[in-house]
Amino acid sequence: MFIAMNRFKVIKDAAEDFETLWKNRESHLAGMPGFVEFHMLRGPEREDHQLYSSHTVWASREDFEAWTRSDAFRASHRGAGGTKPLYLGHPEFEGFDVIQTISRD
Amino acid sequence: MFIAMNRFKVIKDAAEDFETLWKNRESHLAGMPGFVEFHMLRGPEREDHQLYSSHTVWASREDFEAWTRSDAFRASHRGAGGTKPLYLGHPEFEGFDVIQTISRD
C-alpha cells in the first residue's frame, strides 16, 4: 500500500476558499486502477498558516505513478493554479510506503 | 474521522534499527475505543535523514485524546527513548481532521 500526500501551507484568511475549492472540484480518482481512498485533511494551525494535506491511498506505488501519467491526472490539475494565491510556496509532495499495519480487533 | 501522525527524521544508518523496533514493539492500540487502523510509513529519503511517519486513524479526535490519557498509552511509551539515538530532534506530532472523503466506485 502507498500513501501520497501533498502538504499545503494555506494563508489563514484563505482557508475557507481553499476548502470550498477542494469540495467543489471534479475528482477523477474514483475509477482509477489501484485507487483506494482520498481524504482532504485539516492539520494544525501554525503562526503564519493553516496546514492542510491531501491524502490518497493507493494499492501500490506503481498505481500512483500510473495515475500521474494519465489523462485524468492532467485534467484534474488543469487550472489548479487559480487566480488568487491561497497558500505559501508550493505544495510539498511526500510519498509513503506502508511498512506495518495494525487493525482493530 | 481523525488521523494522528508523528514524523520521525531517522538517521540513515539507523533506519533498519528503527523499523525493527517498531515491528517488535507491543502495541496496545487494537482494543482501544475508536481505534480504526495504524500504519507505520516510510517516506522520502532527504539529505541527512530518512523520513518515517506513524499514522493512526481514529473515529474522532476525542477518541485519540482519550487514548493519550490512558494507562495503555503510558505503557506503550515507556522506554520509548531507548538507549541509542535513532532520529534527529524530537518526533513532530501533527493531528488532522478529515474534512472530505472520496471512495472508490
* Mean pLDDT, residues B24-40 taken together: 91
Q: How many domains does the structure of chain A reveal?
A: 1
Q: Which structural domain range is residue A24 located in? A: 2-97
Q: Which three cell numbers, joined as nine digits, stand for B79?
A: 522506554
Q: Read off the pLDDT of residues A39-90 as tens digits, 9 standing for 90 and up.
A: 999 999 999 999 999 999 999 999 999 999 998 888 877 766 666 789 999 9
Whether A26 contacts chain B with CB within 8 A: no
- Check residue B34 and give its pLDDT: 96
Give the span between the Cα atoms of A22 and A99, in whole angstroms. Answer: 30
B39 within some domain: yes
CB-count exposure of residue B68 (10 Å: 0-12, 13-18, 19+)? exposed
User: Taking CA A99 as the corner, what is the angle to CA A98 and CA A101, rounded to the nearest 5 degrees?
Assistant: 80
Q: How confident is the model at residue B73 (pLDDT cuts 50, 70, 90)?
A: confident
Task: Measure the CA–CA gap between B47 and B63, rounded to whole angstroms.
Answer: 36
Instruction: Using CA coordinates, name the residue in chain B closest to A36.
Output: B104
Kindly report the average pLDDT of chain B as a whole number.
91
Average pLDDT over residues B72-78: 81
Whether A52 is covered by a domain: the verdict is yes
* Interchain CB distance below 8 Å, B41 and A96: yes
Grid cell at residue B50: 530518512
Lowest-confidence pick of A14-18, A34-38, A77-81, B54-58: A77-81
Q: Is residue B104 part of a domain?
A: no
In a domain, A80, yes or no: yes
Gap between the terminal Cα atoms of chain A: 21
pLDDT of A80 reads 63
Put simply, whether A38 touches B (Cβ < 8 Å) is yes
Q: Does B102 touch chain A (CB under 8 A)?
A: yes
Distance in angstroms (rounded) separating the CA atoms of residues A43 and A60: 25
Residue B18 has pLDDT above 70, yes or no: yes
Cβ distance of B37 and A105 shorter than 8 Å: no
